[in-house]
Chain A
Amino acid sequence: MASTPQTSDAHTMAQGEMDLLRFATAGSVDDGKSTLIGRLLLDSKSIFEDQLEAVESTSQSKGYDYTDLALLTDGLRSEREQGITIDVAYRYFATPARKFIIADTPGHIQYTRNMVTGASTADLGLVLVDARQGLTEQSRRHAVLLSLLRVPHLVLAINKMDLVDWSKDVYEKIHKEFTQFATKLNIPDLEVIPISALQGDNVVNRSENTPWYSGPTLMHHLEHVHVASDRDLVDTRFPVQYVIRPKSDQYHDFRGYAGQVAGGVLKKGDEVVVLPSGMTSTISRVELFDTEIAEAFPPMSVTVHLEDDVDVSRGDMIARVKNSPKPSQDIDAMVCWMTNEPLKPRQKLAIKHTTRTGRAMVKDIQYRLDVNTLHRDQEAGELGLNEIGRVQLRTTVPLLCDPYSKNRTTGSFILIDEATGVTVGAGMINSGS
C-alpha cells in the first residue's frame, strides 16, 4: 500500500512535524470530483464514523445502490438542495507523510472566480476528466487557470477508467492530447494518472486493472511531490506588516518590524534597503517570538531589527541593496474580474498589494483572454464577471512589485470596490511593470 493511514502510526503523527501540501481540485460533479475527495478522506481514515454513518443513511434514503461519497463534502444546505457546489470549500486530511489542505472548487462555467481563489494558494492543481468524455472545454479552462495562477504542479486524473474497460488506448489518447495542449501553458510538472474514484483504483491503492500503468498512485504522488524548491530563496522580500513598539519600561527602545517573509532569506548582517524611501541599513537581529533565529525564509512570520534608526512603517518593503523590486505606479497585469458590474477604462478602485493599500485607475483594457481557446480579443473594451484580461492600471502609491511569474506574493494584488468594500478583482503582475 502506498500510504499508511494515520491510525496505524500515531507515534509519527504525535511528532506533529510533517510537511504541508495545499492543492486545488477542479472538475464538475459529473467528473466525480466530490467522490474522489470523499475517497481520499475515507481511504486516509480522515472520515469519522458519525460522518460516514450520516452519508450512508442519506444514500439509503435516496435509494442509491452505493454510498455516495460526494455527500461528505456537500457543505451548505442551500447547495445540497440544488445539488451543486457553489463556493470554495476547504478540506483537511493527513497521512504520516504530509498534511493536506484541499481547496475544493466548483467546476461550473460561471465559477471561474472560485477556481482562481482556490488556485491562488495551491502548490498543486488536480484536474479531473471523465475517461468517456476525454478533454472538454472545461478541463482545458481549468488547466489554463492553474497555469495563469502559476500553480507549479499539475495532476490530470483520468477518472471512471472502469467505464472504458481500463483501456490503455483511452488513457494514452487523453494523455497525448493534454500534453499537446499544455505546451502553450506554463506547467512545469505534469502527472497523468488513470483512476476510478468510485472504486478506489490508483487513488490510494495501486490498481490491478492497470498493469500497463507504471506511474504513482494519486496519493503516493500527493505525498511525495517535491514542493520545497518552488519557493524563491534568492530574492529577499520582506513586506513590513506591523511595527512593534512596546513602549514599556522593560523594552523601552524596542523597535521591531514584523511581517511574513515573501522571498529570499534574511539574516543578521545583511545589508538591506527599505523601499520606497531607498534608505539603507543592516539587519541587526531576526526574531521569532522571544527567540533570536539565524535565518528567516518564506513563509515565516518574524520580527526584524535594523542597526540604524531609519523610518520604516507598514507598507514598506525590506529588500537587498542590489536586488530589490522596482517601485512602480504603472501596473500591467492579468486581472480576473469577479463581480457583475463590468470593469471599464477610467474606473477607480482600491488596490491592496502585499501590506500596501492605495487607489488605482484603469488606464486600458488591452485584451480579454478566452480561457478556452487562449484567443486574445483586443476589441473587448471591458471585462465581465468571471472574465480575465490584460489591464493597465495607474496607482496613487508606488507598488513594490515583482512579476507574478517570479513571486506569487509580491506579484499579486486584489481590487476592491470603494463603495461596497467587496473584493471585485484579482491581479497578477506582468514582467513589464
Chain B
Amino acid sequence: MTNTHVDYRLSQLDQLEAESIHIFREVAAEFEKPVLMFSGGKDSIVMLRLAEKAFFPAKLPFPLLQVDTGLDFQEVLDTRDSWVERLGARMIVATIDEAIAAGHVVDDGKTSRNRMQIGTLLGAIEENSFTAAFGGGRRDEEKARAKERVYSHRDDFGQWDPKMQRPELWSLYNGRIHAGEHMRIFPLSNWTELDIWHYIHREQIEIPSIYFAHEREVIERDGMLLSLGPEIQPKGNETVEKKMVRFRTVGDRTQTGCVESEATDTAAIIDEIAVARVTERGATRGDDRFSEAAMEDRKKEGYF
C-alpha cells in the first residue's frame, strides 16, 4: 500500500491528474458516444495514460479516432500501434484520401493537409454519430485557446462560436447537446507544455522516438528545420545538413519542423524546455505562422 502525503497536500501534477481523470469519468458517464481524438503526439498519449488511469482495470469505454494525413511519421504510427495493443483499445482511422473520395473535403491543390484534417475529422464524427470528442488542446498553447472551455460546444456544422460559450463553473460540466451537435472535451486544458513533460517523465510514458534527439538530414527553410523526405527536397540554394535534432510537435511531416537538440531523454528535454525562449508552436509549426489569428480561424471551423 502506498502512503499518501502526510500533510494532505497534492503536487500540481497530482492535482492536474485528478482534474483530468474527473473529466474523463464525467464524460464517460454522461455522453452516449464519446471518442478520443488520437494524433500520436505527446499530448494525446498523455490523454491515453489519464484515460487508462480513470477506468482501470476496465478497458477504455470509448474508441480512439485518428485522422491519417498520409503524411504521418512512421515512428508516430509505431507508437500508436504499441499503445492500442497494450490497452486493447478500439481504433478508428479516418483518412484524408477517403474523406476526399466521400466529398467531405476538396483537394484544390492549395489547401494544406493539416487544414483538410478539419473536414475529415468532422466527417468521421458525423458518420459515427459521436457526441463527445476528447482533444489534447491546452490553454497555454496559443492565445485563442486561453478562453476555450473544458467542454467546448460545437454546433451541427462542428463550429466553435467564441462569443456563445457556456459559462463553466466549479467542476460542474454541462454536457447537454442537441441531436447532430457534439462537444469537444479538453481534459488537458490546465496543463502546460512543461507539465506534460514532467508527467511523461514521472510516469515513464512511451512516446514516439522522434521527440528525442537523433541524427537526421534536414533543410533550413523560412527559419525552420524540415526533415528531408519524399515531399521535402532542397530548392534553390538550400543545402541538406546532418544535425542532431528533436521534434517538439509531431504533425504532418511536410509542415512540422524540428529543433537542434542534444536531449536524448525526458529529463534533458525538461531542462531544455525550462530555458526555451520560443513557444512550441511558433518554433515549429508552419501552419500557425500565416497570421496572428490563424488558430482562431481554424478553431471556429472545427479544428482540434
Please give the residue numbers on chain A whose beta carbons come within 8 Å of chain B beta carbons, in ascending order.
Answer: 6-7, 10-11, 13-20, 48-51, 54, 73-78, 86-92, 94, 98-99, 101, 113-114, 116-117, 120-121, 228, 231, 233, 241-242, 244-248, 250-251, 254, 258-260, 265, 288-297, 299-301, 303, 314, 338, 350, 352-355, 408-409, 412-414, 416, 421-423, 426
Contact A423 B275 (CB under 8 A): no
Please give me the residue from chain A that is nearest to B9 by CB atom. A228
Please give me the residue from chain B that is nearest to A338 by CB atom. B167
In the complex, whether B267 has a CB less than 8 A from a CB of chain A is yes
In the complex, whether B57 has a CB less than 8 A from a CB of chain A is yes
| Interface residue from B10, B56, B58, B168 paired with A117 (Cβ < 8 Å) | B168
Distance (Å) between the CB of A59 and the closest chain B CB? 14
A-B contacts, 12 of them at CB < 8 A, read: A15-B198, A48-B277, A73-B143, A74-B143, A92-B140, A121-B171, A290-B57, A291-B1, A300-B4, A412-B170, A414-B169, A423-B174
Contact B1 A99 (CB under 8 A): no
In the complex, whether B21 has a CB less than 8 A from a CB of chain A is yes
Top 9 closest pairs, chain A to chain B, by CB: A16-B198, A421-B176, A301-B21, A20-B12, A10-B274, A246-B58, A50-B282, A17-B11, A75-B143
Please give the residue numbers on chain B whose beta carbons come within 8 Å of chain A beta carbons, in ascending order.
Answer: 1-4, 7-19, 21-22, 25-26, 28-29, 52-59, 139-140, 143-144, 146-147, 162-163, 165-172, 174, 176-178, 189-190, 192, 194-195, 198-199, 201-202, 267, 270-271, 274-279, 282-283, 292-293, 296
User: Which residues of the partner chain A approach B166 to less than 8 Å between Cβ atoms?
Assistant: 422-423
Known: A87-B165, A294-B2. A421 touches B174 (CB 8 A): yes
Distance (Å) between the CB of B209 and the closest chain A CB? 21
Distance (Å) between the CB of A224 and the closest chain B CB? 14
User: Which residues of the partner chain A approach B10 to less than 8 Å between Cβ atoms?
Assistant: 20, 299-300
User: Which residues of the partner chain B approach A10 to less than 8 Å between Cβ atoms?
Assistant: 270-271, 274-275
| Interface residue from B1, B22, B28, B189 paired with A293 (Cβ < 8 Å) | B1
Contact B57 A87 (CB under 8 A): no
Contact A120 B169 (CB under 8 A): yes
A126 to B210 Cα, complex, angstroms: 42
Known: A16-B202, A241-B26. A350 touches B176 (CB 8 A): yes
User: Which residues of the partner chain B approach A231 to less than 8 Å between Cβ atoms?
Assistant: 8
User: Which residues of the partner chain A approach B58 to less than 8 Å between Cβ atoms?
Assistant: 244-248, 251, 254
| Interface residue from A50, A75, A94, A314 paired with B279 (Cβ < 8 Å) | A50
Contact A300 B57 (CB under 8 A): no
Contact B162 A87 (CB under 8 A): yes
Distance (Å) between the CB of B266 and the closest chain A CB? 9
| Interface residue from A16, A76, A116 paired with B195 (Cβ < 8 Å) | A16
A423 to B13 Cα, complex, angstroms: 29
| Interface residue from A88, A297, A354 paired with B4 (Cβ < 8 Å) | A297
Contact A241 B278 (CB under 8 A): no
Contact A409 B296 (CB under 8 A): no
A interface, by DSSP: helix, strand, loop or mixed? mixed
Contact B144 A13 (CB under 8 A): no
A16-B11, A416-B176 known; 10 other A-B pairs, CB under 8 Å? A14-B201, A50-B279, A50-B283, A101-B190, A120-B170, A241-B25, A242-B26, A242-B29, A258-B54, A301-B18
Chain A CB within 10 A, most for which of B189, B195, B274, B296: B274
Distance (Å) between the CB of B57 and the closest chain A CB? 5
| Interface residue from B163, B167, B177, B271 paired with A426 (Cβ < 8 Å) | B167
Distance (Å) between the CB of B32 and the closest chain A CB? 14
Contact B13 A94 (CB under 8 A): no
User: Which residues of the partner chain B approach A114 to less than 8 Å between Cβ atoms?
Assistant: 167
A288 to B237 Cα, complex, angstroms: 57
Please give me the residue from chain B that is nearest to A418 by CB atom. B176
Known: A114-B167, A409-B171. A18 touches B176 (CB 8 A): no
A87 to B19 Cα, complex, angstroms: 22
Contact B57 A76 (CB under 8 A): no
Please give me the residue from chain A that is nearest to B20 by CB atom. A301
Known: A7-B275, A228-B8. A299 touches B168 (CB 8 A): no
A336 to B276 Cα, complex, angstroms: 43
Distance (Å) between the CB of A423 and the closest chain B CB? 5
Please give me the residue from chain A that is nearest to B276 by CB atom. A48
User: Which residues of the partner chain A approach B139 to less than 8 Å between Cβ atoms?
Assistant: 90, 92
Contact A412 B274 (CB under 8 A): no
Please give me the residue from chain B that is nearest to A104 by CB atom. B146
A247 to B172 Cα, complex, angstroms: 29
A60 to B180 Cα, complex, angstroms: 46
| Interface residue from A94, A258, A303 paired with B194 (Cβ < 8 Å) | A94
Contact A293 B4 (CB under 8 A): yes
A263 to B207 Cα, complex, angstroms: 36
Please give me the residue from chain B that is nearest to A244 by CB atom. B58
User: Which residues of the partner chain A approach B174 to less than 8 Å between Cβ atoms?
Assistant: 352, 414, 416, 421-423
Contact B176 A117 (CB under 8 A): no
Contact B22 A241 (CB under 8 A): yes
Please give me the residue from chain A that is nearest to B166 by CB atom. A423
Distance (Å) between the CB of A334 and the closest chain B CB? 13
Contact B147 A88 (CB under 8 A): yes
Contact A90 B146 (CB under 8 A): yes
Known: A75-B146, A87-B165, A89-B147. A228 touches B176 (CB 8 A): no
Contact A13 B163 (CB under 8 A): no
Contact A77 B296 (CB under 8 A): yes
A256 to B171 Cα, complex, angstroms: 22
Contact B192 A78 (CB under 8 A): no
User: Which residues of the partner chain A approach B165 to less than 8 Å between Cβ atoms?
Assistant: 87
Distance (Å) between the CB of A399 and the closest chain B CB? 12
Contact B169 A7 (CB under 8 A): no
Please give me the residue from chain B that is nearest to A16 by CB atom. B198
Contact B278 A50 (CB under 8 A): yes
A121 to B170 Cα, complex, angstroms: 5
